[in-house]
Amino acid sequence: MRPLVIVGDALLDRDLDGRVERLSPDAPVPVVDRPVATARPGGAGLAAALAAADGRPVTLVTALARDEAGAELHALLDAAGVKVIGLALEGATVEKVRVRTGGRPLLRIDYGGEPARIGPLPAAGAACLQDAGAVLVSDYGGGATAVPTVRAALSEIARHAPLVWDPHPRGAPPVAGARLVTPNEAEAARFCGDPSPSSGSLHALTVRAQALQRDWSAAGVSVTLGSRGALLVAGDGAPLVAPAPPAATTGPVDPCGAGDRYASWAAAALADGALLSAAVVEAVAVASSFVSAGGASAFWPQPGGARDAAGEGPRPAGAVIAQCRARGGTAVATGGCFDLLHAGHVRMLQQARRLGDCLVVCLNSDASVRRLKGPGRPVVPERDRAAVLLALGCVDAVAVFDEDTPEVILDRLRPDVWAKGGDWRDLPEAPLVASWGGQAVVLPYLAGRSTTTLIQEAIRPWRTGQRPEPSS
C-alpha cells in the first residue's frame, strides 16, 4: 500500500453515553445517569485513523495546540498508528462533546474553534508530501488549509500525485488541479450560492457539480448524497451515479464520520492506481458499510463493549479487531498471496475462523507477490483477490501489505491468534505475535491443492500444442 498523507483540521470528539429513565425535577429535561466517556480523533484525525486501520501508512499534518485536549488527541492518534506532523497552533484544541443515550444524541457541547494563528508548514511536512502516494485534504474550517506554505505545497503536489479535497464552507477553496473534490449535497449548494440544497434534482446536482469543477479546476467533483450514494462529474460525459447499497443496521444510525470514511477510502484507492470512477464506487460502498456498522462511535473501541452490525462492503481490519475485542472476543489473523483461490485456501480460512470470533486476512500486495513468486505473478490483482476473499463468509476483513513478510501489518493489528496452513513448517512471525501475548499456530494442509499447479495445468495445452478450439 502506498503511503497516504492527510492535511487538515483535527479535533477531539468525546461521547458521554448514559441511561435516561427520568426527567429532572427542576426542568423538563432528561437526566443522563452514569455517563461513560469515550474520546476519539475527529475531523482530519478520524480520516487518518480510518485509513491507518486499513493497514496503510498514514501521516497527518495538522495544527495542534499545547493544551490538555491537544495532548490527548495526539496520544489517540499515536495509538491508532498515525504519524503526526504538527503545525504550531496559538489557540485551543477544538473539542466536541456529544451527550447520548441508547446511541442517540441528546446534546452537543463545543469548545474552542475561535480564530487562531497557525504556523508555517515544517520541513518534515513538506518532505512527507513529496513522498505521498496520495494526499487527502480534510478541511473542517480550522484554518490549516489556508496557511500559505501549506497551500503552496498542495498546489505542487497536485501536479504529480492524486489530491482529494474534502471541503468545508468556512474553509479555504481547493487548490487547482485536485483529482477529486468531495462536497456533500448541502455544501455543494452553498458553494454555488443556492439557498435550497434539499430541492436538488439529479439535473440540478449535476449542474452544481459541473460549475464547481470549473471553478475549482478539478478533474472530478463527487457530491455525496448520504443514503442515496454519490454523483460524480468528471470530464464532459454524463455523470456517474454510484448508489449506496441497502443499509443493514441493528440500532440507531449514526452518520458521524461518514464523509471522512468516504474521502479517506477514495484517496487510498487513487493512491493505489484506481480510476476515478472506481474510487468513487468503492468509497460509497465502504462509507455505507461504515454507517451501517454504527459510524465513528462504533469504529472506535467503546468502554463496556462496542456495537457492531453486518454491513455491505469491506470494513477496516483494525476496526473489526477492535470491535471483536471490545465484545470480549478472540481476533484471528492469517496471511498469504491467495492468488487463484482454491479449495485448500478455503478450508484453511474456515478452520482459522473457527479459532476465534473474527478473521482478518493479511494479503500480499501485487508488488510483494511479484518479489516472492516472480514476474508472472500474481495472476489476479490485489483488489480482485481481496474482493474474492471478502465474499467468503468466514473472512471479516482484508488488510493488504507491501512488505515481503507480514510483520509490520501484524504489529499494527496485533491479533490474538496468527494461523498459517500446514505447508509452513516454521512460522518466523511467532516471536513477534508472542510479544503481545498472542499465539502462532499451524493448521492442517489440504494436500494436492496448489496455485502453481493450477497455473501449470491451465497453460499446459498451449505448451503442448493442444490448444482448445474456441467455442462457437
DSSP string, 213-234: HHHHT-SEEEEE-GGG-EEEEE
Please list the active-site residues: 260
Amino acid at 177: G
CA 184 to chain centre: 18
Q: Please, what's the b/e burial string for 230-265 (b: 16 or more CB within 10 A of its CB; e: otherwise)?
A: bbbbbeeeebbbbebeeeeeeeeebebbbbbbbbbb
Cα(437)–Cα(418) distance, integer angstroms:
11
Nearest to residue 150, comparing CAs of 132, 137, 167, 133?
A: 137
Cα(375)–Cα(202) distance, integer angstroms:
46
Copy the grid coordinates of residue 369.
507477490
Copy the grid coordinates of residue 304.
463496556
Q: Quick check: 247 and 227 in contact, CB under 8 A?
A: yes
Give the SS3 label for residue 336.
Answer: strand
Q: Quick check: 85 and 60 in contact, CB under 8 A?
A: yes
DSSP-H helix ranges across 36-178: 44-53, 68-79, 123-130, 148-157
Copy the grid coordinates of residue 230.
454519490
User: Which residues are 20's β-sheet partners?
Assistant: 32
